[in-house]
Structure 1
Amino acid sequence: MSSLERQIMNRRLPPMAVTTDRSHQTRAGRSDGRQSRYDYSPILWDRYFDAKRDLNINNQTFRVYLKGTDDKSVNSDTTNTPLVVMIHGGGYSGLTFGPFAQQMNELCDCHLLAIDLRGHGNTFTDNDEDLSVRTLATDIFNVITALFPMENIPPLVLMGHSMGGAIAVHCSILLEELIPRIIGLIVIDVVEGTAMDALQSMQSFLRSRPTSFATLEKAIEWCVRSGQTRNIEAAKLSMPGQLKNVKTNLTAVTELEDNLHNDNQSQSGSHVLDNKSVEFDIREEDEDNVTEEVANTPTNVFKTPEISGYTWRTNLFKSEPYWSQWFEDLSNSFLNSRANYKLLLLAGIDRLDRALTVGQMQGKFQMQVLPKCGHTVHEDVPDKVAQVVASFLIRNKFTIAKQDFERSFPSC
C-alpha cells in the first residue's frame, strides 16, 4: 500500500501544525473559561494575490486570481515573461496556490494565474458537473484566450496538483493552438499507478469527511487537524474556497468579499475590492463546540448535517464517472507531452510507478521529492515548492531570479 493510500485510509488526526507567524497564534476567549490556542479566522484572497477577475465566457463565469501582474498588464504585450497557470485538485479552488504564488513572486520574474475550475470555487457554468478531461481543458484554453489575445499569449508553464496535474498533462496534448506557447509542465504529487489504486478507496474517503460545518472557523480547524492541510495559514485561505453557505448557497468566498465590501463602505465608501493588501478579520465566533479534544474524537463528529452553516462547494461523489479518464495512461501522456521541460514534484518516492521510473532514468523529466509533507505539497511547504519551481524556471532559462535563494537540484 502506498503512502497516499495509507493517508486516505488512516483517519487518526495528526498533531496540530505550527505556524511561524505569531500574529495568528492568538487566544480567543471561551464562555467556559478555556482558551483556544490558534486563530482559525479565514483569510481573504487579497493577502496573497494582486487581483481577481470574474471572466464572462459564453455566459459562464470563471474566477481567476492573479499574482505578479495587474489588470492593465494582462491585456498588454507580455514580452517573454512566463505565465505559470496553476490548476487545482478536485474539490479545491485557485486559492490553494495563494501562499505558493506569493513566495514565487518574491523569488523570480514571472506572472501567476490561478483558475477556479468549473464546479469549484467561484466559477459557475451551465453544467458544473461536467468534469471531463476535454471540457476542463477547453475551459482552461478559454480562460487564457479571454485574458490574452492569441498573438500576445506569453510563454506558458502549466502547473497542476493531483487532478489538476492530470488536467495540465492533458492540456499539453489536447490544446493544439497553445502547444507552441507551452514551454514547461509541472505536475504535483500525482502519478498514474498510485492514483488509479487510490480510486478504490476514494468513496470511503469522501464518506469519512464531515458533511457540514457550523462556522468557517470550525471548517478550518477540521482541515488542519484532519491533516488535509498541515499549514494553518494555507487552510485559512483555501478552505473558504471549498465551501458554500447551506442556506443561501453562496460560496464562502463571496460572503467574505461581501462582508469586507460592506465594512469598507460603512467606513469610507470608497474601497475597491480588487485593491490589494486589505486586512480582513471576521468576528470571533463562540467556540463552545470547537475544543482541543477534537483531536481525540471520531471524525464523524461533524456528520450530522446542519440546517445552517457550510457544506462542500463541490459534490465530488458526482465526479466519479470522470475519475478514471483523469488518470488513465497518465504516465505515458506525461512522458510524451510536447512540453520540452517537465518537472514532477512528489511527496514521496513510493508514488513513482514503473513507467516514470524508467523515464526518469532516461532523463525525460526532472523530479523533486519533498518528504515530511502531505498530499497538498504546495500548501504544506509553499516556500520549498516555490524554491523548486523557481529553480526549474531559472535553470531552463525561462526567467531570472529576483533575489538569491537556495537553488534545488533534481533528484537522481
Structure 2
Amino acid sequence: KAALFPVQAAYTDPATGVCFNTYYAPAGSPAAPLYVCHHGAGSSAMTFWCLARQLRDLAEGDDVPGVFAFDARGHGGTCPPGLRYTLADLAGDFAFVMREFCERHRPGNPVCLVGHSLGGAVLTEFVARFPDLDCNVRGLVVVDVVEDTAVRSLLQMAVFLHKRPRAFGSYGQAIRWHLQTRLLRNEESARVSVPELLVRGPGGGLVWKASLLDMAPSWHTWFDGLSRKFLACRLTKQSLAKMLVLSSSETLDKGLTIGQMQGRFQLVVFNNSTNAGHFLHEDIPRQVAATLSEFMRR
C-alpha cells in the first residue's frame, strides 16, 4: 500500500470526532488528472488499489495521475463506529475530507470524482449540496449504481448479511469465499482489498469491520432520488462532465434514458465481460482505468 500510496494520513473532523483514514498518490504534474475515490457500503479505500495502479501504469511521462481515497465512517481504518450513516451524514463527511485534502495539498490538477455504488450516491449528493466548491472538479463518475436497482437490492440486503459468514479463520479463507461466491472475480485485487474488510475479533476469528446491519436505519436515504440528482447536479464555477459506468445493461429509468439521449451524461456498459461483477473496478481494473483516462482526456 505504501508503495502505491506514499502519503497516508488521518483527517479528524472536529465537528463529528470521526478520524478518517486516507491514502494519496500525488500526480506527476499539475496538468495530470487527480481521481478522488469514494467506496461503497461495506468496502474500504483499498477497493481502488488495482484501479489506482492501472491508472498510473497507463500514463506516460509526467501525465501520471494522482489518486486519493479514504475509508468512510464505520469502514476500514476510520473510527469511531456507531454513528449515523444517512446519505446527508456521508456527504458531509466527504465535504470535510475534500476541504481538508485541498488545504493540506493544494492540488491544482483537474479533479475527477469517482464513486462506486453507495459512494456514487454520496458524491452525487455532495455535488448537489456544494455546487460552488473550489477544488477544480471537472468530472463525476458513478460506478455500477442505478437508483431503481439499488433500492431493490436493499430489500435483499438483510438476507445477504445473515447468510454470509460471520467470521473467517484466516485471510486466505476470506479471500477464497469472495472469489468462490463471485462477489469478487480478480484474485490480485481481492488479496489487497479483502484483508481491509476484516479485523481480529474477541474469539480469535476475523470478523467484518463494517457493521452494515447497524446502518439499516439509514439505508432508505442512500439512493433516494439518485437519478434526478445525478442529472440535475452542476457546478457554479465550471462545467461538470458526468459518466455512468455499469457492469451490465441494467434498465435505466425514464429520466436517465432521456438524459442519456440528450447527451447529459456518458454511459459505458461492460456487459460483454463475464469477469465484471458489481465491483467491476476491482474485477477489470485495466478496462475501467482506460475508460476513466479517456473520459478525462475529453
* TM-score in terms of structure 1 length: 0.65
Does structure 1 conserve the Cα–Cα contact (< 8 Å) formed by 2:37 and 2:48? yes
Does structure 2 conserve the Cα–Cα contact (< 8 Å) formed by 1:137 and 1:175? no
Of the two, which has the highest radius of gyration?
Answer: 1
Residue type of the alignment partner of 2:48: F
Q: CA deviation at 1:48?
A: 3.9
User: Within 5 Å, which residues of 2 pair with 1:308-387?
Assistant: 308-338=204-234, 340-371=240-271, 372=274, 373-387=276-290
What count of residue pairs does the alignment treat as equivalent?
284
- Could you give the per-residue CA deviations for residues 137-165 of structure 1, whole angstroms, max 9, x where no partner exists? 12112222222229935433111001111
Q: CA deviation at 1:104?
A: 0.6
The structure that is strand-richer by fraction is 2
Residue type of the alignment partner of 2:229: S
Q: CA deviation at 1:200?
A: 1.3
149, 172, 180: which one aligns with 2:127? 172
Q: CA deviation at 1:351?
A: 4.4
Alignment partners' CA distance in 2, 1:151 and 1:235: 30
Does structure 1 conserve the Cα–Cα contact (< 8 Å) formed by 2:102 and 2:135? no
Q: CA deviation at 1:202?
A: 1.2
Higher mean C-alpha deviation, range 56-65 or range 96-105: 56-65
Alignment partners' CA distance in 2, 1:204 and 1:68: 41
Partner of 2:24: 66
Does structure 2 conserve the Cα–Cα contact (< 8 Å) formed by 1:169 and 1:334? yes
Alignment partners' CA distance in 1, 2:160 and 2:18: 31
Alignment partners' CA distance in 1, 2:122 and 2:72: 11
Does structure 1 conserve the Cα–Cα contact (< 8 Å) formed by 2:35 and 2:114? yes
- Could you give the per-residue CA deviations for residues 183-202 of structure 1, whole angstroms, max 9, x where no partner exists? 11000000111111111111
Alignment partners' CA distance in 2, 1:174 and 1:386: 28
SS at match of 1:157: strand
In structure 1, the gaps of 5 or more residues are 1-44, 248-306, 396-412
129, 148, 151: which one aligns with 2:83? 129
Alignment partners' CA distance in 2, 1:80 and 1:56: 29
Alignment partners' CA distance in 1, 2:254 and 2:144: 16
Partner of 1:405: none
Residue type of the alignment partner of 2:38: I
Say whether 1:88 aligns with 2:71.
no
- Could you give the per-residue CA deviations for residues 321-358 of structure 1, whole angstroms, max 9, x where no partner exists? 22221101100100111052001000111242222111
Residue type of the alignment partner of 1:82: P
SS at match of 1:350: coil
SS at match of 1:144: helix
**CA RMSD across the alignment:** 2.1
Say whether 1:144 aligns with 2:98.
yes
Alignment partners' CA distance in 1, 2:217 and 2:147: 17
In structure 2, the gaps of 5 or more residues are none
* TM-score in terms of structure 2 length: 0.89
Does structure 1 conserve the Cα–Cα contact (< 8 Å) formed by 2:40 and 2:118? yes
Partner of 1:97: 48
Q: CA deviation at 1:359?
A: 0.9
Residue type of the alignment partner of 2:58: L
Does structure 1 conserve the Cα–Cα contact (< 8 Å) formed by 2:184 and 2:282? yes
Residue type of the alignment partner of 1:183: R
Q: CA deviation at 1:128?
A: 4.0
